[in-house]
Amino acid sequence: MQSKRGDPGAKPDRAGRVAPEPRRGAREAASGADADREGLAAGLYLVSTPIGNAADISLRALKVLECADAIAAEDTRQTRKLMEIHGIALRGRPMTPYHDRNGPKARPRIAAWLEEGCAVAYCTDAGSPLIADPGYRLAQLAIENGHPVTTVPGASAVLAALPLSGLPTDRFFFGGFLPTRSGERGRALHEVAGLRATLVYYESPRRLAATLADMALALGASRPAAVARELTKLHEEVRRGTLGELAAAFAEGPAPRGEIVILVGAAGDDAAGADAKDLDAALRAALSELSVKDAAREVAAALGLPRREVYARALELSKARDEER
């Protein structure tokens, strides 16, 4: 495929000279100045797209989608719809799907376009490519092959949720999606339990209640938190409270709809004491229904703690309970 060149109808400057057409080699730097010209410099453009409201797209993103020689997209239907909303025609340009499942087959095709000196735009369905979205291996390949890679920043669910959460925004940790299994999720949460930063995670609606319950166990039921969903859309909603309150609220009724962002306040000076209290509370709840061995196993998995230590504490609590009786 041949990359498109400058405008053949370029007008002369005041001195009567016609500016030379910029070279479009495959390794030309894709700088912001180049992107402001009629065409785009060769390279890979990581284009951020709206997370819900189609109006939340930058002028530069529209220009890249208009001028790119080829387009790769997580879902070509979504990207075509966005382009149609903003009046951008494909005009016979190649468009290919690129996502985690077809990456090994699609990357050589995109790499060939870059070798030909083309400007290639890559979009995910919503938000920024590579941020809990596909694109890492594609960008890595382009960098390894010496091609320019640039970002076209824009909407991001992380940055949209943070100022709405009511939690500190000066330091935050974004953990993407947590593991789907409760035990693995608990261990992952235990690793960040002591961070002095607001924690931010994406989650699916059907796992929200279980994840909040695991967060209450691993991080402390009294930690302040917020759940944001449908950001930038008509039914945008942010619910704030402690992890215990939010876990109880979402445990009732059907799972909510829409994309979910969970935010949790930073650990405080009493984090170690809170961990001990949370361990005891979790064990007491488990011991009311399970044997000491089973209760220790479940709580250790949920909190990401050593099973031997949890088992020893479970024995102490069980013995104290029996003595009280």
Domain coordinates of the chain in residue numbers?
A: 32-155, 158-264, 271-324
Comparing CA positions, the residue from 21, 47, 46 lying closest to residue 34 is 21
What is the model's pTM?
0.74
Contact 227, 175 (CB under 8 A): no
- Choose among 242, 87, 82, 278: nearest CA to 250: 242
pLDDT, residue 247, reads 93
Structure-token pair, residue 125: 């369905």
Q: What's the CATH number of domain 158-264, 3.20.20.70, 3.30.950.10, 3.40.50.20, 3.40.50.970? A: 3.30.950.10
- Burial of 7 from C-beta contacts in 10 A (0-12 / 13-18 / 19+): exposed
Where does the chain have alpha helices with state H? 32-35, 59-67, 76-85, 103-115, 136-144, 157-165, 182-192, 208-219, 243-251, 271-287, 292-303, 307-324
Task: Give the number of C-alpha atoms closer than 13 A to the C-alpha of residue 169, restricted to the C-beta side.
Answer: 10
Question: In this structure, what are the phi and psi dihedrals at residue 227, rounded to the nearest 5 degrees?
Answer: -120, 120
CATH topology of domain 32-155: Cobalt-precorrin-4 Transmethylase; domain 1 (3.40.1010)
Residue ranges of the chain whose pLDDT lies below 70: 1-38, 269-277, 304
Structure-token pair, residue 5: 């060149």
How crowded is the C-beta side of 106, counted as CA atoms within 13 Å? Answer: 21
The span from the CA of 309 to the CA of 183, in Å, is 16
For residue 287 the two structure tokens come to 């011991």
End-to-end CA distance of the chain: 81
Q: Residues with Cβ < 8 Å from 205, sequence gap 6 or more?
A: 229, 255, 256, 257, 258, 260
